[in-house]
Amino acid sequence: MLPFQTLLQPDKQLKQHVYQQIAGRLINLIQEGILQPGSYLPGSRVMADLLQLHRKTVIAAYEELLSQDWIVAIPRKGMMVATNLPLMKPRSYQPAVSPYAQTPGFRFNTQIPSLPAQVAPTKTRLVVNDGAPDVRLAPLEEWIKACRSIIQSPQYPKRLTQGPTAGSENLRQETIRYLSHTRGLRLDLQNILITRGAQMAIYLAASLLVKKGDAVIVASPNYFYADQCFEQLGAQLLRVPADQDGIDTDAVEQLCRTRKIRCLYIISHHHHPTTVTLSAVRRMKLLQLIRTYQLAVIEDDYDYDYHYPTAPILPLASADHGGHVIYIGSMTKSLGLSIRIGYMIAPAAFIEAATALRRLMDLRGDNLSEEALALLLADGTIERHLKKSNKIYHERRDLLCRLLTAKLGDAVDFVPPNGGMALWLPFHRRHPLPVLATKAAAQGVAISDGAHYNYGGLSLNALRFGFASLNPKEITTVVNILAGILQT
């Protein structure tokens, strides 16, 4: 007889019933070939004695095995391990290591580039992020109230079970209305797909447009996760320099003239990472190129809602582009909630294809969140929040610019951004960012070491200084600490 008292070892501390533990372990022994087909288990009384358990527990375990066909009850002989199981070579009596600690023998795609890890925020006093909103300003209480009002409404079971993949109809309607007020876009329900933030919209648009080997134009430097989307799909990236007026449209034209371009990705407001805005002249030039070359354009306008000196220039999407601009935006950035909701705007046929693809990646969004956001758009909460936070972020930008000029002097060289949540801050070469970041971390301040922004083989010495999520006191502290480091 096998040493069942060693092999079975129930653990009474576990939540799982002891009889289930015994049954599970017996199945393992069968699977591992230790308990051979055709062999008999000890009678329940014997086994109960061996394991120091109540006989009923053993009987329950055996019944479990019977119901799963691992064993069969042979009259007057007892419980026999089923003989229709494939015979297996006995192996070690030791419990196997977790299969998930092993390296599988199959191949898989490990080519997706991973960016260097950001500094972990938990151990630090202050984090300078890439340009995130201030969660402390977010309308969280209003959010919870909206959620509660939805689940308490008599229609909630219908509304919550299974919404459309394209997103809650209420939210699509409210977003269309919002985009009409703020961007002058004229849209139907069939022109919009609600996504998980802007990132999913970029991935979907890229997946529909790009096949292996296709040429895609991006600005240099560019938002790294957009670059990676295109690369993951096998695109060849054509990097066109961007200056203070945005991407060089003459260079884009040159490329369009000489080869087949699959699409162009552009952030027309507050380009990531450099925060420049595409000038009016270049916008017109780009619209001309769109018409001439039937160019598909992915316009990522994640940051439109925050603009400080004046109203923002309208996006390319608002102009006459013949349906060639796939327009992408985000509510996540605006709200500062941890809820990720964005949208894609495009001609109906494109939205239809994007919706079908999104269904395969993620059947649908969270209806409760989508309905709650629709409520907050409808009752004006979002607009009030944007107005309030626009004013606050504007002040924080101004404060940061003043402090940087006063305290860091010629160690930095920056142009104030005309909107958004971050300032592009190039440091003089004599202050390498990896060194600066290490010293700042020692003083409790997490800043980027700049590696993210050098994606694609660049060697900039710059970072995005997210000012929106820091209050005036925090901004002052960070700049003082940086100034102290630079002086030593």
Q: Report 64-83 residues binding its own copies (CB under 8 A).
A: 64, 67-70, 82
Rounded to the nearest whole angstrom, what is the least distance from the CB of residue 359 to its own copies in the complex?
7
Q: Does 96 bind its own copies (CB under 8 A)?
A: yes
Is 313 an interacting residue with respect to its own copies (CB under 8 A)?
A: yes
Residue with tokens 């959620």: 147
Q: Does 451 bind its own copies (CB under 8 A)?
A: no
Q: Which residue lies nearer to its own copies by CB, 64 or 449?
A: 64
Contact residue for its own copies among 452, 455, 469, 486 (CB under 8 A): 469
Shortest CB 76 distance to its own copies, Å: 24
In the list 136, 429, 430, 473, the residue contacting its own copies (rule: CB under 8 A) is: 136
- In the list 8, 51, 187, 486, the residue contacting its own copies (rule: CB under 8 A) is 187
73, 74, 349, 415: which one binds its own copies (CB under 8 A): 349
Number of residues that bind its own copies (CB under 8 A): 132
Q: Residue 310: is it exposed, middle or buried by C-beta count within 10 angstroms (0-12/13-18/19+)?
A: exposed
Binding residues among 388-447 for its own copies as defined by CB under 8 A:
none
Distance CA 369, CA 291 (A): 38
Q: Interface residues for its own copies in 206-225 (CB under 8 A)?
A: 207-209, 211, 225
Task: Tell me if 26 contacts its own copies by CB under 8 A.
Answer: no
Residue 194 interacting with its own copies (CB under 8 A): no
Nearer to its own copies by C-beta: 309 or 457?
Answer: 309
* Binding to its own copies, residues 325-344 (CB under 8 A): 325, 337-340
Instruction: Kindly state the tokens that stand for 314.
Output: 């309208």
Nearer to its own copies, 52 or 122 (CB): 122
The region of 63-71, 391-399, 436-444, 472-480 touching its own copies under the rule CB under 8 A is 63-71
Residue 471 interacts with its own copies (CB under 8 A)? Answer: no
Whose Cβ is closer to its own copies: residue 74's or residue 363's? 363
Q: How far is the CB of 287 from its own copies (least distance, A)?
A: 7
d(CA 8, CA 48): 12
Residue 411: CB minimum distance to its own copies, A: 28
Q: Which of 182, 268, 389, 454 touches its own copies by CB under 8 A?
A: 182
Q: CB-wise, 338 or 487, nearer to its own copies?
A: 338
Binding to its own copies by residue 320, rule CB under 8 A? yes
The least distance separating its own copies from the CB of residue 480, rounded to whole angstroms, comes to 22
Q: Which two tokens stand for residue 86?
A: 């494939």
Using a 10 angstrom Cβ sphere, with 0-12 exposed, 13-18 middle and 19 or more buried, the burial of residue 7 is middle
Q: Which listed residue (49, 142, 248, 352) binds its own copies by CB under 8 A?
A: 352
Q: Please name which of 28, 23, 15 lies closest in space to residue 63, comparing C-alpha atoms.
A: 23
Exposed / middle / buried, residue 411 (Cβ in 10 Å: 0-12, 13-18, 19+): middle
Of residues 231-290, those binding its own copies (CB under 8 A): 232, 263, 279-281, 284-285, 287-288
Query: With binding defined as CB under 8 A, does residue 112 bind its own copies?
Result: yes
Pick from 317, 382, 422, 423: which binds its own copies (CB under 8 A)? Answer: 317
Tell me the one-letter amino acid at 174: E
Q: Is 123 in the site for its own copies (CB under 8 A)?
A: no
Please tell me whether residue 116 binds its own copies under the rule CB under 8 A: no
Q: Which of residues 149-178 bind its own copies (CB under 8 A)?
A: 151, 156-158, 160-163
Site for its own copies in 372-391 (CB under 8 A): none
9 touches its own copies (CB under 8 A): no
Maximum Cα interatomic distance, the chain, rounded to a whole number of Å: 94
Min dist. Cβ of residue 198 to its own copies (A):
9
Q: How far is the CB of 409 from its own copies (least distance, A)?
A: 29
Q: How far apart are the C-alpha atoms of 17 and 353, rounded to whole Å?
A: 49
- Burial code (b: 16+ CB inside 10 Å, e: under 16) for 249-277 equals beebbebbeeeebbbbbbbbbbbbbbbbb
Of 2, 7, 28, 411, the one binding its own copies (CB under 8 A) is 28
Least distance between its own copies and beta carbon 105 (Å): 3
Separation between Cα atoms, residue 250 and residue 301, nearest integer Å? 22
Q: What are 78's strand-pairing partners?
A: 74
> Which residue shows structure tokens 């799963």?
68
For residue 467, state whether it binds its own copies (rule: CB under 8 A).
no
